[in-house]
A = this chain, B = another copy of it.
Amino acid sequence: MDLHILDHRLRVTCISKSGLEHYTHPLIKLIFLRNRTRCKFFSLTETPENYTVVLDEEGFKELQLSEHLQVEGSTWLPLNVVSNGNASSSSQAVGVTKIAKSVIAPLAEQHVSVFMLSTYQTDFILVREKDLSVVVETLVEEFSIFREEGGESVPVHSQAACNGLQRNGREVPHATVHPVLIPENQFCVMSLDPDTLPAIATTLIDVLFYSNSPKEGASVDEDIECIKFFSFSLIDGYVSLVMDTEAQRQFPADLLFTSSSGELWRMVRIGGQPLGFDECGIVAQISQPLADSDISAYYISTFSFDHALVPEEDIVSVTEMLQAQRKDMSS
């Protein structure tokens, strides 16, 4: 398999709930007005805590610093695994499960933090730019590694990228088992033709920017078992949307499409306290057992928590698996 280091230099930021309206102007530009910005990598995820915005440096320039915006200090690079047809794996699973053993686990062992961003189209593995040489060194045995530069794919050789590299020799500390939350809502992972984005503009704006203000006449009947989670990304011209079925009903049914009709996902939110960016092995902890059981999973990291999405029919076994894991670790 090939591993591509994509040509985007990313910032991971977070807008507070109350601060979102101050960022409406740049965010709407980044989402809807492609000809007004050079941003090519944009992702916005709403969780109950805040809004996580991951975007390239061109996009980041649009965000004015303020007390409403938190910015993680590093530059992150997105990695992308491309099956080149002769993959020996017999796995039918998709998403993070497919790369659990080949990418996630080795990086965790090397104490490299990853920030995952699954989309409808693919799974981006974000690593800190400063960790790149370790990443290459770690993955070069398993993958042909290419660095995208100005539309070209340039092969990366371990020596070239890792001049003077010292492998992280640290012992991986005994991983913390984070509490998980399994909300009741069902999610769908969707896409749409980017040319039809204008057709859902007012709905998307409503959901993203105004869903916290009460609708006139609507009764407040929030299901406390459900979680607020909505993710939009526009990356290299591809749109991906992750939303629950309630939000989905607000969109015109004929424009959004999902990989197999009616496919629904349940969420496992990882972390009782905000996770931070320095702990390693969080993705590995959940993706490993999923890979063992060949269960597909999307995985979306946010500023505060991580979120895995697993097929609805597998949620019971995933829950049992996580409970067993918990027991093992604490015993």
Contacts and interface: CB of A to CB of B under 8 A. Distances in A.
B24 A210 contact: no
A16 to B, nearest CB: 14
Contact of A210 (B29, B197, B198): B29
Contact of A28 (B22, B197, B209): B209
A216 B58 CA distance: 12
Contacts of A37: 216
A154 interface: no
Nearest to A198: B202
B216 A28 contact: no
Q: Which of A29, A32, A202, A216 has the most CB of B within 10 A?
A: A202
A216 B22 contact: no
A202 to B, nearest CB: 4
B216 A35 contact: yes
A25, A28, A33, A203: residue with the most chain B Cβ atoms closer than 10 Å: A25
Contacts of A28: 24, 28, 205, 209
A215 B34 CA distance: 10
Interface in A181-208: 197-199, 201-203, 205-206
A314 interface: no
Contacts of A249: none
Contacts of A205: 28, 32-33, 201
Sort chain A's interface into a size bin. Answer: 20 to 34
A219 to B, nearest CB: 14
Contacts of A29: 210
Nearest to A27: B24
Contacts of A202: 32-33, 197-198, 201
A36 interface: yes
A84 interface: no
A185 to B, nearest CB: 22
B206 A36 contact: yes
Contacts of A90: none
A157 interface: no
Contacts of A26: 21
A249 to B, nearest CB: 15
Given A22-B25, A24-B24, A28-B209, 8 more contacts: A28-B28, A33-B206, A35-B217, A36-B213, A198-B202, A199-B199, A201-B202, A201-B205
12 contacts: A20-B25, A22-B22, A22-B25, A24-B24, A24-B25, A24-B28, A35-B215, A36-B215, A37-B216, A198-B199, A198-B203, A201-B205
User: 10 shortest A-B CB distances, which residue pairs?
Assistant: A21-B25, A24-B25, A198-B202, A201-B201, A24-B24, A32-B202, A201-B202, A36-B210, A33-B206, A35-B216
